Amino acid sequence: MDLSVTNDLLENLMRGDIRSLARAITLVENRSPDGLELLRRLFPQTGRSRIIGITGSPGAGKSSLVDRLAALYRKQNQSLAIIAIDPSSPFTGGAVLGDRIRMNALATDPGVFIRSMATRGHLGGLAVATADVVSVLDAASRDPILVETVGVGQDEIDIVKLADVSVVVLVPGMGDDIQALKAGIMEIGDVFVINKCDRPGVEKMEHAIQTLLSLAHRPDGWVPPIIKTVAIEDRGTEELAETIQRTYEQFQTGEQRLQKLRAAARQRLLGLLQERLVRKAMDTAFPNDAMDRIVDQIAQRESDPYSIVEDLVRRARFEA
Amino acid sequence: MDLSVTNDLLENLMRGDIRSLARAITLVENRSPDGLELLRRLFPQTGRSRIIGITGSPGAGKSSLVDRLAALYRKQNQSLAIIAIDPSSPFTGGAVLGDRIRMNALATDPGVFIRSMATRGHLGGLAVATADVVSVLDAASRDPILVETVGVGQDEIDIVKLADVSVVVLVPGMGDDIQALKAGIMEIGDVFVINKCDRPGVEKMEHAIQTLLSLAHRPDGWVPPIIKTVAIEDRGTEELAETIQRTYEQFQTGEQRLQKLRAAARQRLLGLLQERLVRKAMDTAFPNDAMDRIVDQIAQRESDPYSIVEDLVRRARFEA
């Protein structure tokens, strides 16, 4: 790509052209040099959109909730984006939730840009790749940007932590198993949702959340609100949207936002460095099929990875 | 640590001394130079123990199941280890499941070595840190080594993929939500467990698993068995242990094992390189408080991470 094409692409996506937006995201996802150049150029234009992270266990109804929120934002004439992080198949390498069926009205509405991201193959970590896609959407003035993750793993937590507001979705019945609640997601939620509130056990669940929150002692003193929804019946959607907005505005003032921006910047810097530097080291130290041979030697215990890495790191120099 | 101390520690842990084992794991977890030296020395002695990964959603009863399996292995006079990967608190940095109560008989039995690992702060990724701890236990002849993860995130999937046999634990009722099953864990299971089989919906769940497995097309042709358990009543534990053993033996023959060892070796090499090389780059390029200043500039959009990383990577040289 020559510079004028990058210029055009950047200009078109910032104008709101959807095909340019899709193309830019693909470049960024592929980690091509053009994608990185584009990111470098659009980065100063970012940091304006509201980024809403939505997470919770599989089966909590996150997708339905996101779809309802999206429909509501569309009624308010907001031009938004949804990024759905899909756990990938380790066999096929593809996303297994890619076939997920979105509400028809959303899928054909140019005001809702939907993108699935697979979790595999990001050397610098999924959180960095996601942050980069968010930056493209941010530069394209998509606002809000909803980032939906399945699961409660470390990568997912890192992604949600990049959001301006993190929403944790739970369902009644999980309250029976307090461990399930404590599993990592409890302390990242700025807002909690009890979805599927037509099921029994809502009060027990609410009590369990309150108890755990009272133990958490957030250093910022924020007390996360708990919202009750039935996403498939569109109940509670407006209250949730209002609560998210109020939380966002609250966090804008004060030290909170700068803290989050700093954490995001640090993660990004480290992740990018892991991705780019390790690739250069590998290409330099193990050209062609040398890598396969070394992997074989390690697998057979004829050689050990610690000595190999130690040697490579010892040889690394960073010229002024 | 001078060489003779490393020698003693290595010798003592390979003799089965528990305090030396605990000390070695702490060194390795802290990523100290001594820990890496120890790993380098013991690595040739590894690859012998059976490594069993156990994963599933929070609340599936994995811990109870692991405790039952451990009790059974103890009856068979096997000297085993349990590594429980605990999601960490992003606020406190500590493990939130660390307070989990193990069955009393296990906690005081020197034949069961139990270790919790927090998910945070591993620059090279949690999977690499876990693999290193597994190597120490392997060299200490702990066999089997049960690695239990909470959640279905990418890190957790990477960990379970390092195991010789991966067990995915599900519960009845999840079958209502097919998406929950598809979320990443479906294709990594060599053995499936439906735990809490005293609850309604067991057949529906079994059918859902079979349907999804029939779509998965494992390249090795393996058809994962489905075992039904009620862990809290110790029902199905023996059948599960036998199935794990049969699966392990099946995988030992054939190409399967070498494939897994190669994947593990590659992941280890990359993870170690990420950890050690990025640290050296950071220390060299951003000494003292330069890092904080740069993070601040990125957070304020006065500078962009892509240009900074690009510049650093360009300057990297690997001397012969």
Token look-up 């811990």 returns B63
- Measure CB to CB from residue A278 to each of B154, B180, B274 and give the nearest one: B274
- For residue A269, the chain B residues in CB contact (below 8 A) are 294-295, 298, 305, 308-309
Nearest residue on chain A to B124, alpha-carbon basis: A274
pLDDT (tens digit per residue) in B6-36: 889 999 999 999 999 999 999 998 888 889 8
Separation between Cα atoms, residue A291 and residue A197, nearest integer Å: 53
Give the pLDDT score at B90. Answer: 40
Do B135 and B21 contact (CB within 8 A), yes or no?
Answer: no
B283-311 core/surface letters (b: 16 or more CB in 10 A; e: else): eebbeeeebeebbbebbeeebbbbebbbe
A119 with B154: Cβ contact below 8 A: yes
Q: If we measure between CA atoms, which residue out of A38, A30, A42 comes closest to residue A2?
A: A38
Instruction: With H, G, I as helix, E, B as strand and everything else as coil, classify residue B199.
Output: coil
Which residues in chain A are contacts of B88 at CB distance < 8 A? 184
Instruction: Please judge whether B273 and A266 are an interchain contact, meaning their C-beta atoms are less than 8 angstroms apart.
Output: no
Q: Which of A64, A51, A71 is nearest to A264 (CA)?
A: A51
Residue B141 CB partners (closer than 8 Å, separation 6+) = B14, B16, B48, B49, B79
Query: Distance between alpha carbon B287 and the CA centroid of its chain, in Å?
Result: 33
For residue A170, what is the enclosing H or E element?
strand A165-170
In whole angstroms, give the CA distance from residue B139 to residue A244.
51
Cα Rg for chain A, rounded, in angstroms? 21
**pLDDT value for B103:** 53
Q: Do B317 and A313 count as a contact with CB atoms less than 8 A apart?
A: no
Residue A206's DSSP bridge partners are none
Among B184, B264, B280, the residue with its CB nearest the CB of A87 is B184
Digitized pLDDT (tens) for each residue of chain A, 320 residues in all: 566 778 899 999 999 999 999 999 999 988 888 898 999 999 999 989 999 999 877 678 888 899 999 999 999 999 999 998 865 444 333 333 433 445 556 777 889 998 888 765 555 567 788 899 999 999 999 999 999 986 556 666 777 778 999 998 888 876 545 555 555 566 678 999 999 999 998 998 898 888 888 876 777 788 999 999 999 999 999 999 999 999 999 998 877 778 888 888 888 888 889 888 998 998 888 888 899 999 999 998 999 999 999 999 999 999 87
